[in-house]
A and B are shown apart, each in its own frame.
Chain A
Amino acid sequence: MPPGRPLRILVCIKQVPKAQDLQVDPKTQTLKRVGVPSEINPPDANALEFALRMKDRMPAEIVVLSMGPTSFDESLERAVAMGADRAVLLTDRILGGSDTVPTAHALSETIRKIGGYDLILCGEETTDASTGHVGPGIAGHLDIPQITYISDMEIVDGRVRARRTAEDGSEWWETAMPCLLTVNFGCNRPREPTLSGKIRVKRGGVIVHWSCADVGIDPNKVGLKNSPTIVAKVDTVHLPPRARKMFTGEPREAVAQLLHALVEDGVIRP
C-alpha cells in the first residue's frame, strides 16, 4: 500500500432482477419476471461488503463503478448508503447489448480514467448472466494480477494475500497491488444502509454519470454490433414432468408412504 494515502478500492457492481423473487410459473413453466424488483447483483454485494470491512480496519476510499442505464442509480445509491464514498455510472445508449468483451473493455477504460486504484473487487459472477468473465477480462485489459473466487483477504507488508476457493481445496495466494479480486458469492453478509449513508445520498453529488465520450471509449469497440457473441435464440426447457405426489397424514404415515414409493422406484434399497 502506498504510504501516506488511504487505500483506494474500486468495486464493480451490476444491477440485476432480484434473485429470490424469481420463481417459475408452474403453468407456463417460464420465469415470472413481471414486477420483479432489482437489487445489487448478490456476489457484487459481497464484494462491496468485503471492501467496507477493509475500510472498517484501515483508511480507505471506496469508489463503486457500474455500467448500465440510469435506473442503476438505485443500486449505486444503496452502495453509497452502505458506506462507499462515491459512485461512477458509465451510461450511454451505445453500450446497449454489449457482451462480456465490450463490457470488460469499457469498464477497464473507465477504471483507467478514475485512476489511482490499489484494488479492484468484483463479484464472482452475476446471477442473471452468470459468466464470471468480466472480472478477469478487466484484469487482462489492465494487465494486472487477478485472484478469483476469494473469500478472505489481508494486506501484509503492502502485498495482498487472498484465500481462493478451488474445487478441491482452499489456496492462499499473494500478489502485489494494484490487482483485481473476484469475491465468492455468500462469503459475508452485506450490511444494511446506514442513516448517515442515506443522508449523504440525499445531499446529492455522490454519483457521477459518464458517457463513452467522457471516458474516451471508442464507439467502435462497444455495444451490440461490436460484441463477438450473439444470443441466436432461446429455448424454453421442458423438463420431464414430475409426479408431484403429496403424502399426507401423520409424519409416521407420510414417511412410510414416501419410503415405500422410493423402494418401489428402486432408488433406495431396503
Chain B
Amino acid sequence: MIEHHNALEGKSHFKGVWVFLEGRKGALRDVSIQLIGEGRRIADRRGVTLTGVLPGYRVEALARHAIGYGLDRVIVVDHPLLEIYRSRPFTKVMATLIHRDKPEIVLYGASKNGRDLGGRLHAVLETGLAADCVKFDLDDEGNLDMIRPSFGGKSLAHILCKQHRPQMASARRNVFLAPSHDPARAGEIVHQTADLSEADLDAKLLEFKEFVREGGQRPDEAEVVVSGGYGLGDPKNFGMLQELADLLGGAVAASRKAVDSGWIPKEFQVGQTGMTVRPKVYFAIGISGAVQHLAGMQESGKIVAINIDPKAAIFEIADYGIVGDLFQIVPELIRQLKELKAPGLPTEILPAAV
C-alpha cells in the first residue's frame, strides 16, 4: 500500500501527470494519443511534467514516437511478458510504478483494456477512479475535476478525489482532439524493469479473431450512420439498411434492443454500453430512443428519425422526422437516392434546386 496515501499531509508528495499509453499492434491506440493532448493541458496548468507510461515488449521506438505528441518523458517497461495486455502483470507494473514515483494524476483511455486495468488497479491502490470522462478541469484547490456523463448523458457529473492520490480517470475515445505530432520534440526515455515471472501470467490468450466489417467502415468513424432498432422486426431487414448506408457512403449500426435480439453483433451497438458516434447524419430507423441509446448518438450533426410511433422519444431530439412504416419509407429513400445519384434521370419530385 502507498504510505500516507489517505493522509492530507501526504498529498504533497504526489506530483506530475501520467498517461497510460496503450499499444495495439505496434501503434498507440488513438485514445492514448488524444489523452496526451489533454494531459499536456492539465500538466501545464499544474506546472508539472507530463509522463507517458508504456508497458510492452520492444516498444522503445513507440515510446520515442509518443514523445512527439507532447510528452516530457516516457517510462518504458519492456518485458516479454508484457507483449500483450493482461490484467495481472499490467496491474502489478502500474501499481509498482505509482507506489514508487507517486504521480498526482493518472489518466487511462476508457478502452476495454483501460477499464479492465483501471478497475483492478484502483481497488488495489485504494484510490479514486472516475470512468469514461469527457472533460477535465481543475478546482480552486488544484484537484482534478473529472467530468463524466451520467444517466445516459443527460447530465454531467463532476467527480473529485480530494484526499486520495493519485487521482485517476479513464477518458472516452474521440472526445479530446489528437495533438499534432512533432518528430523533433525532445523528451526523456526512462527504462524501468519489471519484476515479473511466469506466475504473473495467470491468463493465456489462445486465439484472436479480428472483426471484419462489411464495407470496412466503423460506425464511429463514418460520416453517415444508418442505425436500426427493434422496429426492424427481423435480422434480414438490416440488408435494407446496409443498402441505404452504401448509397450514402456510411455504416450500419444498431440499438441495444436489436443487438439483444441477436439480429446483429454487439460491435455494431450504439449507446451507453456500446459505442458513441458523431456522424454528420444519423438515421435512427425503428428506434424508440431510450436515453441509453441517445447517449451514444445525441451529438450527431443531423438526426433523422423514422418511426411508426409518433410519440417515440427519438423524435424529440431529431432534426427531421417521418412518422410511418419504415418498410415503405426506407425502400422509398433508397429509390430516390439512386435517382439522385444517377445524373440524367428525371427527378420530377425533387425541387429544382437539387
Whether, in the assembled complex, A1 has its beta carbon less than 8 Å from a beta carbon of chain B, the answer is no
Q: Which residue in A22, A99, A146, A174 is a CB contact (below 8 Å) of B204?
A: A174
Is the beta-carbon distance between A101 and B336 smaller than 8 angstroms?
no
- Of the stretches A84-92, A109-117, A184-192, A207-215, the one at the interface is A184-192
Nearest CB in chain A to that of B343: its residue: A270
Which of these binds chain A: B35-43, B54-62, B327-335? B327-335
Expressed in whole angstroms, the minimum distance between the Cβ of A97 and any Cβ of chain B is 14
Chain B interface residue count, Cβ-Cβ cutoff 8 angstroms:
101
Complex CA gap A1/B291 in Å reads: 42
Of the candidates A233, A244, A264, the one whose C-beta lies within 8 Å of that of B158 is A233
B202 and A230 within 8 A (CB): no
Does A125 lie within 8 Å of B204, measured CB to CB? no
Cα distance, A171 to B116, chains bound together (Å): 14
Closest chain-B Cβ to A195's Cβ sits at a distance in Å of 25
A3-11, A24-32, A61-69, A197-205: which lies at the interface: A24-32
Shortest C-beta distance, B273 to chain A (Å), equals 4
Which A residues are in CB contact (< 8 Å) with B350? Answer: 256, 259-260
The answer to whether B318 touches A248 (Cβ under 8 A) is no
The reply to whether B266 and A165 form a contact with Cβ atoms under 8 Å apart is yes
Q: Using A170-B209, A232-B160 as known contacts, say yes or no to A255 and B126 having CB atoms under 8 A apart.
A: no
Tell me, rounded to whole Å, the shortest Cβ–Cβ distance linking B131 to chain A: 4
Instruction: Say which residue of B120, B128, B328 sits within 8 Å of A146 (CB atoms).
Output: B120
CB-CB < 8 A to A171: which residues of B?
Answer: 205, 207-209
**Which listed residue, B115, B320, B329, touches A243 by the CB 8 Å rule?**
B320
The B63-112 residues at the A interface (CB cut-off 8 A) are 87-88, 91, 111-112
Q: Establish whether residues A268 and B292, one from each chain, have CB atoms under 8 Å apart when the complex forms.
A: no
B246 → A minimal CB distance (Å): 13
B293 smallest CB distance to A (angstroms) = 10
Chain A residues within 8 Å of B162, by CB: 230
**Chain A residues whose C-beta falls within 8 Å of the C-beta of B329 in the assembled complex:** 251, 254-255
Q: Annotate B202-231 by CB proximity to A: 1 below 8 A, 0 otherwise.
A: 111111111100000000000010000000
- Interface residue A228 (Cβ < 8 Å from any Cβ of B): yes
Contacting residues, chain A, for B207 (C-beta < 8 A): 171-172
Shortest Cβ gap from A124 to chain B (Å): 7
Select B154's contact among A100, A237, A262, beta carbons within 8 Å. Answer: A237
Contact B128–A23 (Cβ < 8 Å): no
Given the interface pairs A173-B205, A228-B164, the reply to whether A184 lies near B266 with Cβ below 8 Å is yes
A172 to B111, CA, bound (A): 18
- Other A-B contacts than A149-B116, A228-B128, A236-B155, 8 sampled, CB-CB below 8 A, are A20-B290, A132-B115, A139-B120, A148-B115, A189-B262, A231-B157, A244-B318, A259-B340
A-B contact pairs, 16 of them (CB 8 A): A130-B273, A133-B123, A136-B123, A166-B112, A228-B127, A230-B161, A237-B153, A237-B156, A244-B319, A252-B349, A254-B324, A261-B320, A263-B354, A267-B281, A268-B248, A270-B354
Please give the residue numbers on chain B whose beta carbons come within 8 Å of chain A beta carbons, in ascending order: 24, 87-88, 91, 111-113, 115-124, 126-132, 139, 145, 149-164, 202-211, 224, 248, 256, 259-260, 262, 266-267, 269, 272-273, 280-281, 289-292, 294, 298-299, 301-304, 313, 315-325, 328-329, 332-333, 336-337, 340-341, 349-351, 353-354
Q: A interface vs B, CB < 8 Å?
A: 19-20, 22-24, 26, 29-31, 43, 99-101, 104-105, 124-125, 127-141, 145-149, 151, 161, 164-176, 184-187, 189, 227-237, 239, 242-248, 251-256, 258-265, 267-268, 270
